A and B are shown apart, each in its own frame.
Chain A
Amino acid sequence: MATSEVERRRGQLAALSIAAVVIMVGVPLWWRTTETYRAWLPVSQINELANMQLQLSADVEVVFARGTVTPEQQKKVPLTQTQDEEHTVDENTALRYRYEIRYRTATIMEEDALDQPTAAEADLSLHTLSESPCGSLVVYVIPESSSLLPEDMDVYIGQRRTALLRIGAQMRVGRTVEQLLAHLEPRIKQVLQVMSFSHTDITAALSDRVRLSPGNKESIADSMRAFKSSPGYEITFSLLNPDPKSHRLHWDIEGAVQTYIQPLLTKLAPVANFSLDSQTLYYAMLGVNPRFDSSSSAYTLNSDSLAHVINPVEARLGSNAASSNPVLNFLLYVPDAHHSPLYIHDNKKQEVPSNAFHSPRWGGIMVYNVNGFYRPEAVLPVDININMAKVMGVFLAQLRLLLGVQSSTAPPGFLMAPCGSTGLADWELDRLMWSRSVENVATATTTITSLAQLLDQIGNIVINDNIAEQVSSAVTSLQLAVAELEAGNLGFALQYSKEAIMASERAFFDPSLLHLLYFPDDQKFAIYIPLFLPMCVPILLSLLKIVSEARQKRREKQAKKD
């Protein structure tokens, strides 16, 4: 009897110790060895970023030339004003525009510069005096009597970051500084809308984050035309020669690119990297048959058929297999001898002066007629040198449109200087940098927040260290970019926003984040049950037996006591 008691005791002890080992040692060990490695992500900071409050700051200097302020007013100037404009785009996004306006009077050298005969020369000499930093503007207020601007124009926008504003006739004697500033404020606001950033541009740049209801046709067309922000672009120039038997074409593409296109791309270097290549395609026809127009004795392509020109040609254009950057194609088509000259007509049946058209987010095509360069009885094939200045003028204009340098129509009374030899005015570059920074920040925040959401939802995706690193660096860059935008340092803001977007894209598109590679919960149960259930059943049963025996004993003891 004693031995069976000892045996029972021993059995109970064995069951208890096995259960103890399983629970204390086994379960934690199993848990640790089967948990997925999830590196730490800054989730709280990501959620903070989801609620985006952007502040854009622009510095404006308003310089009063001689004759625009009275001596009493002059004493109160120089002064600084800060203006804020708040806009709420949707429940997660709010914008604030801050303008820091400094008023001062012109120096002697600036007065001399403003004495030039034309506005363009004044602009040039003003630029030699001082260079405004990126993102800032200088507005020179010139008197009513000044001859720099023509009669009906009030504002001249130069090639750099300066504008000339003609003060109205009412501003003469007896007005206080406050009234003067109040008079100037709407005009300066207008100049800022054109040269710096406007609310429509910024909200268009936020289109990734906020799906806005479509406005008028122009805004839809603008948002569809330009390429989205990307760290690099590839530009391909192609010469299409469908008739090599008649025309032997020579184009100095290397020299033309070096002289005309490269300055623009160098200026745009802070925005993106560009890679250029060129090719010549022979026997490449347009997919459309042009119609012969007897009134002008030329072949015409009307605007409806232009849409079908691109597809047959695109199949023959190559692209760089190694990179995934967007490609801009610029095609120069020289019509064959039987279909020359070829003109493009718009939908009003008028000839288009540039003889070119472009397709949003794709590129441009220009038709170059060469029938004027040789006599009909010349010996074929004829050597023809293409006038690259004319061709590149058209391509450069198309490139500006496709990259998002909006040449929106100027408000009435504004006179714009033609863009310089680089093809891009400094203030246009600033505009592009503002909208690109905002677009990058918006895209990067949506990418990071949706990545965090995805990783949260699917609990068993492994988050490697490199992904966590990328996410952290993206969050840091985003915070820095927003801070720099607030401070008004446009160059740094764009750089940080580009780093943020590259890091966030690399983290989001990491190949290891495919949820298919990880087991859903029901499959996990199917694996563990045949392993653990047979082992756990005896332990559980013996524990239950121990508990029921203990309870029985306690009942017996109770009964004995009673």
Chain B
Amino acid sequence: MKILTFFSLFSTFLSANSINVEENAGQFFSSGHTNNWAVLVCTSRFWFNYRHVANTLSVYRSVKRLGIPDSHIVLMLADDMACNHRNPKPATVFSHKNMELNVYGDDVEVDYRGYEVTVENFLRVLTGRLPPSTPRSKRLLSDDRSNILIYLTGHGGNGFLKFQDSEEISNVELADAFEQMWQKRRYNELLFIIDTCQGASMYERFYSPNLMALASSQVGEDSLSHQPDLAIGVHLMDRYTFYLLEFLEDIHPASKANMKDLFKVCPKSQCVSTPGHRTDLFLRDPGSALITDFFGSVRKVEITMETINLTDLIKEAEQNPMNEKPQKVTYSYVDQLPVSEIIHQKPKQKDWHPPDGFILGLWTLILLVFFKTYGIKHLKHIF
């Protein structure tokens, strides 16, 4: 009897182990994506919104560290912090007090900066309706097997997000943009993170499949900032993004942490606001979606088993001595502007011109006043 139970336990242990191996192999293809993209947008400008730029740049750093290359990141910032006149440490943007971590550095590639960060450009990037002259680095060239991470931060309200203090994007427009992306199969799965006041209102209207959304606060709540730095004089980070980054610091490219851990980031005790998430449109179980499915870029690889046996020899490029030397076209510069001559020229003698209208009018006015005051009989003294 004991042997039987022992045997059955052993066999279940073995079968569980083999299921584990199968699962590992299955997980390889369970996510269904082959490449990763990230669209990181900071919608604020001006010095007192330093923390929004620091938020975006910190997420940018993490995403790059976990493997997504610059060519797959579309970064939209007003970019007026690092070289702002009020920045006591120029060319830096710090994300931690005591200036521990400079997130600006020298390899930040901002794709849309300054006044280019508009609602129109953001929607154009998402839907792909960019003018043909747009370079590759400013486009979101995703396909139906791309997982996209979209991170928005700034000032928001119930159902809208303020862009650059002059316009706003509503949750309906955002939902429509995602639907157009889905129609054209521009994403496999999309993770939407928003760190603004009343952020949960922005994902209320989504209706396309395969979307997962996280927000830093519910409708009616404000997202708060984390810590001011007394030397720089502004708040450096928002609370939600600060704890999000702390969580991401523990993730490395081979980590198996999943989305359920991400939902636990920044509970109410730390964040003061209540972070929310929405997973009803996501077709997979969030527990099976890895963090690196969106934040990192883990490539799938297959071993190349077959090769082709090539036996032809490379043909040498024929040297043809019969041909004359090809005529070398000599190029030359256009005549440059003779700057030195211009600088050292003597000023030309100007021809005399009769006085123009203004002077004539002024003199006429003076004469009129004179004759009005003193009478027309003085005219003979003039003429």
Contact = CB atoms under 8 A, between A and B. Distances in A.
Contacts of A516: 119-120, 123, 173
A454 B180 CA distance: 8
B120 A514 contact: yes
A210 to B, nearest CB: 12
A221 B29 contact: yes
A225 interface: yes
B311 A224 contact: no
B34 interface: yes
Contacts of B129: 509-511, 513-514
B184 A447 contact: yes
Contacts of A344: 303
A344 B304 CA distance: 11
Contacts of B67: 308, 311
A224 B306 contact: no
A321 B185 contact: no
- Interface majority SS on B: helix, strand, loop or mixed? loop
| Residue of A314, A346, A353, A400 with most chain B CB atoms under a 10 A cut-off | A314
Contact of B301 (A220, A224, A358): A358
B120 A393 contact: no
A359 B301 contact: yes
Interface stretch (A110-118, A128-136, A416-424): A416-424
Interface in B124-174: 124, 127-131, 135-137, 139, 141, 143-145, 173
Interface stretch (B52-60, B76-84, B312-320): B312-320
Nearest to A510: B129
Contacts of A513: 129
B183 A315 contact: no
A499 to B, nearest CB: 19
Contacts of A533: none
A354 B307 contact: yes
Contact of A393 (B130, B176, B180, B310): B310
Contacts of A401: 304
Interface stretch (B94-102, B292-300, B330-338): B292-300
A450 B181 CA distance: 11
Contacts, number: 172
B40 to A, nearest CB: 17
Contact of B314 (A256, A360, A418): A256
A394 B303 contact: no
B29 A224 contact: yes
B90 interface: no
Nearest to B169: A516
Interface residues of A, number: 75
Given A310-B299, A516-B119, A320 B136 contact: yes
A292 interface: no
A514 B124 contact: yes
B382 interface: no
A394 B124 contact: no
Contacts of A398: 304
A306 B301 contact: yes
Contacts of B357: none
B88 interface: no
A396 B310 contact: yes
Interface of B: 25-26, 29, 32, 34-35, 67-71, 119-120, 123-124, 127-131, 135-137, 139, 141, 143-145, 173, 176, 180, 183-185, 253-254, 297-317
29 contacts: A221-B29, A255-B315, A255-B316, A256-B314, A304-B254, A307-B299, A308-B254, A311-B67, A314-B69, A321-B136, A322-B136, A324-B139, A324-B141, A352-B303, A352-B305, A354-B306, A354-B307, A357-B304, A360-B34, A361-B34, A389-B314, A393-B307, A393-B308, A394-B308, A423-B308, A446-B183, A450-B183, A454-B180, A515-B176
